[in-house]
Amino acid sequence: MDYRYALYKCLHSLATNIYWPRGQFDLTLAAGKEALAQAQALHLGDELWFPLSDIAWVYWSTGRRELAAEIAEQMEQVVLPGSLGEGFTCCLRAGLAEPRPGFLTAVLPLYQCARSIAEATGDPGLNVEVRLGLCRSYRAAGNLAAAAAWADDAVAVTFRLNYRQFQAVALIERARTAIAAGDPLSALTDLESAIALATQLQAGFDLARGSLYRAALLFAQNHPQADAAWAQTVRLCQSNGYDFLLGQERSLVLPFIAAVLDSADPRLARTGKELYEQLLCAVPAPLRVEMLGGFSVWVGANCIPKQTLRQRRAGELLALLQTTQSHTLTRQDVTDALCPEKDSDAALDFYHHAVSALRRLLEPDLPDRRFACRYLDVDDERIKLILPAGSTADWQEFAAAFRAKDWETAVTLYTGEFLPIFGAAEWTIPLRQDLADQFEFALLALADSRFQAHDLTACLDLCRRVLRHNPWQEQAVELGMRTAVELGDRITAVKLYQRLEKVLQKELGLAPQKELQQLYAAIRRQSFQ
């Protein structure tokens, strides 16, 4: 037992104190996983979060957010309230939050909890991580003053505590905030200091990040050292396997590549080509398409503006592709669906403009047509939408819940009719009706399950939801009437029937089915007895 515990501690120490600071992520991951296996074998429940944290932060840093989220869930199961483990788990959870509108409301309580634990324990790592996380969150939310304040605090804490492992990281985050605030001179000063520190500590990842931001900054200023800085960044990413970093900072990398890719200087052209080849290795961010009750598209953490979705009908083309089997359409399919009234020449022109607009919508940072869109495979005759791993669509999630007969989840996921923004488009009608019918069925099924469980109030509420969706749904009226009677509320039962009778007569010229009439008559008789 002593040997195995010592082995576990050694592996964890290697991961945390040696491999991680040096940016050796593969070794960190291997040591962390082996440490976790040893801790599990020894039933070290209170200590499992240590190797789990090693693993989670590797996944987070390298952009594997789904895996990081899975590990975060495991950490939540084993950390004790108020413990150091809970503090780091809160930071991880906050770091995984997508920077969407209002996301600060979710992350600030997490950082507050972590900060309280950091102050109580005095742990330098947690103290710094809280400040760095708050800096990133406020910067993502556009509050640069708050971001700068937390960055200054993080830098001050790392130097006061002589916490060298995080000094370069803190300087880099302050530099990124200065860049966002339009202060390139301050940013460059911090980046130079971060690069010097990272070089001393052999911190490969910090060195690569600092070099990348410095190269982008020098290039934006037309500095003569920009080319050499980019060449250094290429070497660092190639030698350490940091292709993902280029993908994370794609908007900074692409302008330089576009400028030098066809350069007459073979050295510059080679640098641009090598950067582009590395960039192509980076996995694109997943797409999130929400089409129930509205229309929103997310590329990773970035929400595409509504006005962009409407340009050249790019959003409608994306929605059409997303809902098509194999996500592939011919040019004729596109024009038949989106512009059936146009002649062949006008339809061809429409197709090219819509495809070009969709390309810019999905990857607005692409400089020109030399750079392929990673989400589209296009030629003159067909277009295919390429969905990276982790891509989702709300209507598909709803449909999956419906197929699984998970009525409660299905009802929750259906937030409105399918693509109301394109209500007049014929191609939307069949799917819109199918989904609406499924929603109605799920509501009825859930209402029936509530009735069987004798949760009568919930059942009646669900019946009313069905009737708001479809006022002449007779099954919902019948179930609602029976439920109301069970609740001793015959007045509601009568009103449900009378409202249905009125709607059917007005809209369809029909009377309720015979069985429902008989139920109504029976309730009326009981009411006067």
Task: Answer for the pair 302, 295: CB distance below 8 angstroms, yes or no.
Answer: no
Q: Give the strand pairing for 376-378 and 302-303.
A: unpaired
Please check whether residue 8 is in contact with residue 35, taking contact to mean a CB–CB distance below 8 angstroms.
yes
Sign of CA dihedral 448, 452, 456, 458: negative
What is the edge-to-edge ordering of all strands in the sheet holding 382-385? 328-330, 382-385, 376-378
Write down the pLDDT at residue 1.
54
Q: What is the pLDDT along the chain (529 residues), one digit of tens a residue?
A: 578 899 999 999 999 999 999 999 999 999 999 999 999 999 988 899 999 999 999 999 998 888 999 999 999 999 999 999 999 999 999 999 977 778 899 999 999 999 999 999 999 999 999 999 999 999 999 999 999 999 999 999 999 989 888 999 999 999 999 999 999 999 999 999 999 999 999 999 999 999 999 999 999 999 999 999 999 998 999 899 898 898 889 888 999 989 888 888 888 888 888 888 888 887 888 999 999 999 999 998 788 988 889 888 999 999 999 999 899 999 999 999 999 999 988 999 999 999 999 999 999 888 888 888 999 999 888 999 999 988 999 999 999 999 999 999 999 999 999 999 998 889 999 999 999 999 999 999 999 999 999 999 999 999 999 999 999 899 999 999 999 999 999 999 999 999 999 988 888 888 889 989 899 888 888 754 4
Q: Which amino acid is at 64?
A: R
Full-model pTM:
0.75
How far is the C-alpha of 52 from the C-alpha of 447, rounded, in Å?
Answer: 42
The residues near 191 (Cβ < 8 Å, ≥ 6 apart) are 171, 172, 175, 210, 213, 214, 217
Q: Are 245 and 212 in contact (CB under 8 A)?
A: yes
In sign, the C-alpha dihedral spanning 111, 115, 116, 120 is positive
Alpha-carbon distances, residue 105 vs 101, 126, 209 (angstroms) = 9, 21, 29
Nearest to 57, CA basis, from 126, 122, 138, 148 = 126
Run of H or E including 512: none
Measured distance CA(156)–CA(176) in Å, rounded: 17
Query: What pLDDT is recorded for position 181?
Result: 95
> What is the Cα Rg of the chain in Å?
29
Strand 376-378 relative to strand 382-385, pairing: antiparallel
List the beta bridge partners of residue 383: 329, 378
Residue 290 three-state SS: strand
CA-CA distances (angstroms) from residue 186 to 171, 192, 333, 472?
10, 10, 53, 67
363 DSSP 8-state letter: -
- 383 contacts 278 by C-beta, under 8 angstroms: no
Pairing of β 296-299 and β 287-290: antiparallel
pLDDT of residue 379: 84
Q: Are 443 and 460 in contact (CB under 8 A)?
A: no
Residues 6+ apart with CB under 8 A from 127: 118, 119, 157, 161
Rounded to an integer, what distance in angstroms lies between the CA atom of residue 336 and that of residue 319?
Answer: 15
Cα 481 from Cα 491, distance rounded (Å): 9
Tokens 């195995």 belong to residue: 4
User: Listing from the earlier edge strand, what are the strands of the sheet with 302-303?
Assistant: 302-303, 296-299, 287-290, 392-393
DSSP state of 293: S
Please provide residue 328's backbone torsions phi and psi, each rounded to the nearest 5 degrees: -125, 135
Q: What is d(CA 299, CA 285) in angstroms, rounded to the nearest whole number?
A: 6
* Residues facing 382 on adjacent strands: 330
Q: Which two tokens stand for residue 129?
A: 């991580």
Half-sphere exposure of 137 (CA within 13 A, CB side): 26
**pLDDT at residue 221, as a whole number:** 92
Residue 292, beta-bridge partner list: 418
Beta-bridged to residue 287, according to DSSP, are: 299
